Amino acid sequence: MKKIVRSALAAALALAAAPALAQTYSQTVFFGDSLTDSGFYRPFLVQQNPQAAILGRFTTNPGLVWSEYLADFYGTGAAPAWGLTTTGIVNGTGTNYAAGGARITLQPGFRPQPPTSAAPSLAMQVNAYLARNGGRADPNALYTVWGGANDLFFHINGLTTQQQFLTAAVEQIGLVGKLQGAGARYVLVPTMPDVGTTPLGLSLGAANAAGISALVGGYNQTLFGGLAQGGLRVIPLNTFALLREISASPSVYGFGNVTQAACGATSALICSPADYPAGAQESYLYADNVHPTAATHRMLAEYAVSVLEGPRQVALLPNAASMVGRARAERVAAQLDPAESDGLRWWADVRGDFQRYGKGDTYDGAGPTLTVGASWTRGDLVFGAFGGYGQQSQDWGRRGGSFDQSDASLGGFVGWKADSGLWVNAQASYSQLGFDTDRDVVLGPATRTHEGSADGSNVSIGASAGWEFGWGALRHGPVIAVLSQKIEIDAFAESDPALSTSLAYPEQSFDSLIGSVGWQFSGTIHEHLKPYARVTWDEEFEDAPAEAFAQLQSMSVTLPYAVPGHRFDQTYGTLTFGARTQLMGMDANLGTSVTVGQEGGNHATVFATMGMGF
């Protein structure tokens, strides 16, 4: 028993490991039936038997259900919002209103006998939540509305007509609309799973199982077609397809039995380790005739995480491009001092960029860039052109996969410096961007990789100015700079579009406007060694997109959905230091630049520049 409890806790901790830099959702709120219920009946069971404290979930107890795994990942909660006792329903402090047996709007629950006959419908659950919160839904919370299976059971048991069954889908649409009308922005709506492929469905024979699958398909079509027609944007989960995919290749996902119930004839609600073979909570797909085992629930949560986090992963591409763009602009600006004599000069700059955000849990990686240019000096004026190419390899954190970025740039620059030490320069460039993504979706022991490719562009305009003064070998003075970047990334779709986990993404537009102010220092130790340093306070004046978008390719009827975007610290500092010298008869500039004081992230560059006149 203790070993099983430890295994359940370890699985929850593994899914919860490495939470996001900032909490993505203020809370997770669940409305649903036995698939989502985290303990509505536990008080009732404990009153009947004090030893039943580990029971009360519709799975291989004491394992968790998918709602608990999902809440653990986001650092929120999925404790029951209420519970059934022998004297009625009592309120709790949690945010999981789901109750096993619940129908969409009607009572009694299924089965229509105690205790499940007392299950509050999803409509009652939504009303209870709104009543507790003054009629308003928290716009920063993640909501789940998952139901319909118990309306199906009423129908296939001859207690309702098919029209009444499909009407429940229309009523579920109304509940989503009610939540969104009250302020909810992020509503997760899974499909009804294919009950025809469960042990219950299979036990009824091939013809009846196919009929049940068709009924479920009709419910899902009515639900999601109606949501789209009503303009209700939701986050869909194609659990119908996912569980079919697992059943078709069970060994890939660690299952040895996908047709029988691990708990035998015992209901999952009261199924304890004494009711299933050792290890069955991991090797069986189903706990009883319709309810998933703990391992299946964990995969459902992993699937939900992949759909919720996929758009947020792809939304990081323009941020990575903007950091590379800023590093390029800084290196070009460093070439804009007029030469000591008129004429042409060439230069080549090699740098390595290192990005790390969320301590690597958001993304991190590195890559080289070569930039070459030529400048012409005439008096106090210098102008010229440059071109460059670089590649970056980044890893999304939390086993999310990776992406590669290429950057081919062309640009021009101009600079001026007066005898008084006043200087000013400007530059403009166009970069052709390319991205190759490999997004990993972890499902138990299996990992799916969805590939994608997108092109993009970065139009950058920058200017800086300063005043250099000092005494003898030491020079110093103020510096101010501004860099504007307009980054566009084309829409693209991932590989294997028929799979439940494959996503497509709309085009992205990302604006960056960084202003910097600071002080720079330079000195001369001798003719061939001139160290320097610069420190700036930097402010990003453009906000990152508030939301990220995607569409589930296996459910093309749905609208693109939104999830919260990333929030990066917009105020930080940059420290640059290095030395100018001579190497092999050429001018050389060696140094590094690193951001400091940026909460949850940093960008570092090391560089080496060589050049000479001709």
Cα dihedral sign, 211-216-219-224: negative
Domain assignment present for 276: no
Q: In this predicted model, what pLDDT tens digit does every residue of 38-78 receive, in sequence order? A: 999 999 999 999 999 999 999 999 999 999 999 999 999 99
Domain co-membership, 464 together with 579: yes
Domain assignment present for 66: yes
- Asked if pLDDT for residue 338 goes beyond 70, the answer is no
Q: Which domain holds residue 80?
A: 27-244
**pTM for this structure?**
0.94
Exposed, middle or buried, 112 (CB in 10 Å: 0-12/13-18/19+)?
Answer: middle
Residue 526 pLDDT level (bands cut at 50, 70, 90): confident
Report the candidate in 296, 92, 100 with the shortest Cα–Cα distance to residue 198. 296
**Can you state the angle between helices 2-16 and 294-314, rounded to 10 degrees?**
10
Domain assignment present for 258: no
Q: What's the pLDDT at 340?
A: 63
Exposed, middle or buried, 266 (CB in 10 Å: 0-12/13-18/19+)?
Answer: middle
- Asked if pLDDT for residue 4 goes beyond 60, the answer is no
* For range 402-429, the mean pLDDT: 95
Residue 8 pLDDT level (bands cut at 50, 70, 90): very low
Report the candidate in 492, 500, 507, 505 with the shortest Cα–Cα distance to residue 555. 500
- Tokens at 428, concatenated: 């403009």
Domain assignment present for 588: yes
Q: In this predicted model, what pLDDT tens digit does every residue of 537-565 receive, in sequence order? A: 999 999 999 999 999 999 999 999 999 99
Residue 339 pLDDT level (bands cut at 50, 70, 90): low
Q: In this predicted model, what pLDDT tens digit does every residue of 484-520 receive, in sequence order? A: 999 999 999 999 999 999 999 999 999 999 999 999 9
Q: What is the CATH number of the domain that holds 503?
A: 2.40.128.130
Q: In this predicted model, what pLDDT tens digit does every residue of 456-481 receive, in sequence order? A: 999 999 999 999 988 778 999 999 99
Where does a domain end: 180, 213, 244? 244
Domain co-membership, 233 together with 348: no
Residue carrying the six token digits 């323009």: 318
Domain assignment present for 282: no
Domain co-membership, 234 together with 350: no
Q: Confirm if 431 and 408 have CB atoms less than 8 A apart.
A: yes
Residue 14 pLDDT level (bands cut at 50, 70, 90): very low
Residue carrying the six token digits 């394992």: 63
Domain co-membership, 435 together with 554: yes
Residue 409 pLDDT level (bands cut at 50, 70, 90): very high
- Asked if pLDDT for residue 21 goes beyond 80, the answer is no
Q: What's the pLDDT at 2?
A: 41
Domain assignment present for 189: yes
- Asked if pLDDT for residue 331 goes beyond 90, the answer is yes
Q: What's the pLDDT at 18?
A: 38
Tally of structural domains, the chain: 2
Q: In this predicted model, what pLDDT tens digit does every residue of 213-260 receive, in sequence order? A: 999 999 999 999 999 999 999 999 999 999 999 999 999 999 999 999
The mean predicted confidence, pLDDT, of the chain is 94
Domain co-membership, 233 together with 346: no
**For residue 95, what are the β-bridge partners?**
none
Domain assignment present for 135: yes
Domain co-membership, 446 together with 588: yes
Q: In this predicted model, what pLDDT tens digit does every residue of 112-159 receive, in sequence order? A: 999 999 999 999 999 999 999 999 999 999 999 999 999 999 999 999
The three-class DSSP label of residue 294 is helix
In order, the DSSP letters of 347-375 are EEEEEEEEEEEGGGTSEEEEEEEEEEEEE
Q: Confirm if 7 and 72 have CB atoms less than 8 A apart.
A: no
Domain co-membership, 416 together with 545: yes
H or E, element range at 308: helix 294-314
H or E, element range at 260: strand 257-261
Where does a domain end: 244, 273, 307? 244
Among all residues, which ones are annotated catalytic? Answer: 34, 288, 291
Where does a domain end: 215, 244, 273? 244
> Using CA atoms, how far apart are residues 221 and 148, in angstroms rounded to an integer?
13
- Tokens at 470, concatenated: 């000092």
Domain assignment present for 409: yes
Domain co-membership, 55 together with 165: yes
> Using CA atoms, how far apart are residues 187 and 139, in angstroms rounded to an integer?
10
Q: What is the CATH number of the domain that holds 167?
A: 3.40.50.1110
Question: Lowest mean pLDDT: which of 226-235, 299-308, 376-385?
Answer: 376-385
600 Cβ neighbours under 8 A, 6+ residues apart: 21, 22, 357, 358, 359, 362, 568, 569
Percent of the chain with pLDDT over 70: 96
Q: What's the pLDDT at 267?
A: 97
> Using CA atoms, how far apart are residues 48 and 86, in angstroms rounded to an integer?
9
